[in-house]
Structure 1
Amino acid sequence: MHRRKFLGGMAGAGFAAVAAGGAALAYLTDAGQNRAGAASTTLTIPELLEGTTSDGTTTFTLEAKTGTSEVLSGVTSTTAGYNQSFLGPTMKWTSGDTVLLNITNSLDADTTVHFHGAHIPPKMDGGPQNAFAAGETWSPTFTVKDEAKTLWYHPHALGTTAEQVTRGLAGMIIVEDDSDASAALPSTYGTDDIPIILQCLAADSSGDVKYDLTGYLSGGLSYPLLCNGTNVDATTLAFTATKSRTRFRLLNASPSDIITVQRGDGGTLTQIATDQGYLTEAAEVESIRLVAGARAEFVMDLSDAVTLQAVVTTGWVRGGSGTYDFLTVTPDASDTPDALPSSLNTITRYDTTDFAARTITLGQSGASMLINGSAGTTMAAMAMISTTLDAEEIWTVTNSTQLEHSFHLHDVPFQLISINGEEPTGVDLGWFDTYEVVGGGTIKIAMQFTDFADDTYMYMLHCHLLQHEDEGMMASLMVTES
């Protein structure tokens, strides 16, 4: 099934929400051409970036650069990527290790690199304060405090996030740990541990990729869906599973659209993780709904081929819509996997009785998007949320617009306390850093600000619909000692 509707309706005065920051990868030939448009329908596995370890520190080298690739099949687009023409390689970090990243900016504009979902010092977080100019190299270093989970990396500079991410600057990060659950789950990258980076973009017939309101409202657009860098509008990719159990890591790297993943045969997926790590136990789900920027993990034990579908729903003024058969997984294995662990993680639910309460209001004024009444288009104009190290807080995040928003918090994970007045159940009892706030809706979230404080550098909170972020729906979060 490959069907697509082209939407021209507006969601409000030029906005709507759900967010992302691109990612999907494809290898380069020696001549530097992207293989995403090649005739083969085999799933492309993003390159695994090798680090070098010395004196207890693992160093990764990245270069943000421009190039060309095929976003629409058969049409050349101007794109960008890390170490290649379109998107970037996967990094593996190990919990407890020290990493150093040497990132060179070979673009013609300032950029940053944000490690989405990582619990790291604000000076290393890659927010707008960390912007560095063309020709410069930024070298953040930190100890990995995260447990096993799927993260990603992308730019986060003021006013240019949508353009840079949508052009292709993004990649996946896998954090590994020594937990019993990790030892029991598939973990061989590219064999039984598979990244799936889905990206719904907007492009005109010449291949020009759109990223702002003017672009999205222009005529003659199509909204290609990419899986790991390959257009799947009319192609179902193929993956041969050489192990009976395969783990899939999902990332919705779209700038605005919502993507729901399901089985074409109506069967269930065994979800094992949300944004911020393992669930308490594996959960059988009919589908996995991801707002832009969100991640999830699931496993499948297969005896027969299964086709995975992506259901795309527009989240902004215009965008993708339709159901796609994007990947057929065919088993070719003779092993018998052990039963999944009965327990994957221990998640102690917060008792929020004594938590400090705070209200975060997502709003709109004309062409500006607001948090607590301020349009964060400059550092000085942003609303500032101030808290202290080890503070425990419960936030009521209220959407005063009728648009969709994708709320993302830097620094620490949060638990959902309520969703539009209802208590969370099932996989919503896991840990998150990005979650949907529907038009007129409210979520309550709880968190504790651990480990890092700084009097100069701050974290961010924002809508991860990239256009909304650029239009001002971003505030600063300052965590100080006291």
Structure 2
Amino acid sequence: MTHDTDPASGAGRQSNGAHARSGRGDTDGHSEKTKGRGGKGLHRRTFLGGMAGAAGLAAFGAAGATFSLLTDGNDNEASAADATTATATLTVPDLLEGTASGGATSYTLTAKTGTGEVLSGVTSTTAGYNGSYLGPTMKWTTGDTVLLNITNTLGDDTSVHFHGAHIPPKMDGGPQNAFADGETWSPTFEIKDEAKTLWYHPHALGTTAEQVVHGLAGMIIVADDSDASAALPSEYGVDDIPIILQCLAVDSSGDVKYNVSGYLGAGLSYPVLCNGTNVDSTTLGFTATRKRTRFRVLNASPADIMTVQRGDGGTLTQIATDQGYLTEATEVTSIRLVAGARAEFVLDLEDAVTLQTVVTTGWIRGGSGTYDFLTVTPDASDSPADLPSSLNTITRYDTSAFTARTITLGQSGQTMTINGSAGTSMSSMAMISTTLDAEEVWTIKNGTQLEHSFHLHDVPFQLIEINGSTPTGVDLGWYDTFEVVGGGSIKIAMKFTDFTDDTYMYMLHCHLLQHEDEGMMAALMVTDG
């Protein structure tokens, strides 16, 4: 994407091939190959016409996301010839420099509007942090104290949520932290998280989808001094690479859509973006100067699911989920990310490899197909050491004495609910009250036929069941965002540590942003008891 800042403004799921998740199996195009050696992958868009109004919502949720994918019958043998030739260069977001003073590291962000090309050759109104689209990457270190000075020049209220961070509710950036145009919000907190990939984005009531789809999103890297971190690639932009994937809905004039009426409009395109660049007909290139390269992937789409895989059918070495390192590096054939989810993997390269994303429509209508988004070409002669045999120790919860709750995701027309309440205002939200150090197991029940992406603020959770099945493989890692298929359920366990407040609340919600804005959000109050 090319951008010109407006001068007047100054806006999960993984598969290891053997384990089928969510009761559906790996039927989402995971095995699809590039059509033709050295060419772009199969590009397929679903344009669903003739639907209008809320009456079509349930039908779209149940069936509108289906699509047919073809395979070329090639086997999984990888070779350099499988790599797609890059036609543009990967843009790596700037690393935001912090300023150390008074025992804290300060970061300055300005939310602003601008313009850019979401569709090639068409100007769109966009938004970003410190620029016209997306935002810089922040790198925090465990144990440090950070101070953020965030100024709003959007012309509307906003907030900035630090998605996945374990911080006090007063600093969490939820709806209670919204601040007006012209104001600066300055949260400060200690970094208690261990090494992981987080992200930041708006979270004000009713405007989250609108602001995020126009570009207000950025990545956060948490670094620590663990043995695993020392053994893994960590030089930002060199062998530690952020990948922000998005699928948007845009009309021919460049207007980016964010709500039901917009998505039901005629003549829409559904571009896929990687770090802000449209990859519908472009494959980005990255030259790896180290043989082992680490990739941090974020699905910043408002709704669509992104499945990352190799174009040659080879495996990815996954090292982390949303909330940090796995117990060990794990070979997977694909990494499925629902909206808001993250994962990390490494590639050890001898030949060029093309990364693809399989897009699955998550809400009403949208993009579906397979896209070659990045070709990684090695230009290195180093010899990386073997990966550590152990990355992390994850002690599985014994939930026999945990407090049990059921959280029901529901729908009434266009209104989305949690436990029967529509969270379109703070007063109308369902309230979940708990106490410090409480240990709980929640059954997240999807009472709709729509896809949902469940996100919990404050603490990470472990998966106990996925549609009645015991999790295995990478599903045994730590999460904060996870897929709940139509009519399905997940069971999760967590412990509420460190932070309490009698006024400020955390949120739990669907991270399909339109569902969140339509009411699928509840409040979580953690008190001293």
Task: Choose which of 39, 62, 87 in structure 1 pairs with 2:134.
Answer: 87
DSSP-derived class of the 2:515 partner = helix
Matching residue of 2:46: 6
Task: Choose which of 136, 149, 153 in structure 2 pairs with 1:102.
Answer: 149
Deviations 1:66-85 (A, max 9, x none): 00011011111000000000
- Contact 1:196–1:251 (Cα < 8 Å) also in 2: yes
Matching residue of 2:69: none
- Contact 1:116–1:153 (Cα < 8 Å) also in 2: yes
- Contact 2:57–2:414 (Cα < 8 Å) also in 1: no
Matching residue of 1:33: none
Deviations 1:206-234 (A, max 9, x none): 11000000000000000000000100000
Deviations 1:394-426 (A, max 9, x none): 000000100000000000000000000000000
**Residues 1:272 and 2:319 are matched in the alignment:** yes
Distance 1:54 1:277, change over 3 A: same
DSSP-derived class of the 2:148 partner = strand
How far residue 7 of structure 1 moved from its aligned partner, in angstroms, is 3.1
Q: What residue identity is the alignment partner of 2:143?
A: G
How far residue 366 of structure 1 moved from its aligned partner, in angstroms, is 1.3
Matching residue of 2:416: 369
Matching residue of 2:270: 223
Matching residue of 1:30: none
**Residues 1:407 and 2:407 are matched in the alignment:** no
- Contact 1:2–1:233 (Cα < 8 Å) also in 2: no
- Contact 2:197–2:222 (Cα < 8 Å) also in 1: yes
Matching residue of 1:327: 374
DSSP-derived class of the 2:89 partner = coil
Matching residue of 1:67: 114
DSSP-derived class of the 1:279 partner = strand
Task: Report the count of equivalent residues.
Answer: 461
For residues 438 and 121 of structure 1, the distance between their equivalents in structure 2, rounded to whole angstroms, comes to 31
**Residues 1:44 and 2:44 are matched in the alignment:** no
- Contact 1:252–1:292 (Cα < 8 Å) also in 2: yes
For residues 205 and 365 of structure 1, the distance between their equivalents in structure 2, rounded to whole angstroms, comes to 32
DSSP-derived class of the 1:102 partner = strand
- Contact 1:14–1:213 (Cα < 8 Å) also in 2: no
- Contact 1:16–1:405 (Cα < 8 Å) also in 2: no
**Residues 1:311 and 2:358 are matched in the alignment:** yes
Deviations 1:307-343 (A, max 9, x none): 0010000000001100001100000000000000000
Deviations 1:167-197 (A, max 9, x none): 1101000000000000000000000000011
RMSD of the alignment, in Å? 1.2
- Scaled by the length of structure 2, the TM-score of the pair is 0.86
For residues 277 and 8 of structure 1, the distance between their equivalents in structure 2, rounded to whole angstroms, comes to 38
Matching residue of 2:123: 76
DSSP-derived class of the 2:118 partner = coil
**Residues 1:290 and 2:358 are matched in the alignment:** no
Matching residue of 2:187: 140
Distance 1:16 1:479, change over 3 A: farther
For residues 15 and 265 of structure 1, the distance between their equivalents in structure 2, rounded to whole angstroms, comes to 32
Matching residue of 2:292: 245
How far residue 56 of structure 1 moved from its aligned partner, in angstroms, is 1.5
- Contact 2:286–2:376 (Cα < 8 Å) also in 1: yes
Deviations 1:116-174 (A, max 9, x none): 00000000000000000000000000000000000000000000000000111010000
- Scaled by the length of structure 1, the TM-score of the pair is 0.94
Q: What residue identity is the alignment partner of 1:3?
A: H
Deviations 1:339-358 (A, max 9, x none): 00000000000000100000
How far residue 55 of structure 1 moved from its aligned partner, in angstroms, is 2.0
For residues 471 and 478 of structure 1, the distance between their equivalents in structure 2, rounded to whole angstroms, comes to 21
Matching residue of 1:426: 473
- Contact 1:244–1:303 (Cα < 8 Å) also in 2: yes
Q: What residue identity is the alignment partner of 2:48?
A: G
- Contact 2:87–2:285 (Cα < 8 Å) also in 1: no
Task: Choose which of 440, 463, 466 in structure 2 pairs with 1:393.
Answer: 440
**Residues 1:345 and 2:385 are matched in the alignment:** no
DSSP-derived class of the 1:12 partner = helix
Matching residue of 1:155: 202
| Aligned residue runs from structure 1 range 161-200, under 5 A | 161-200=208-247
Deviations 1:270-311 (A, max 9, x none): 000000000000000000000010000000000000000100
For residues 426 and 6 of structure 1, the distance between their equivalents in structure 2, rounded to whole angstroms, comes to 32
- Contact 1:111–1:155 (Cα < 8 Å) also in 2: yes
How far residue 13 of structure 1 moved from its aligned partner, in angstroms, is 6.0
Distance 1:154 1:219, change over 3 A: same
- Contact 1:280–1:345 (Cα < 8 Å) also in 2: yes
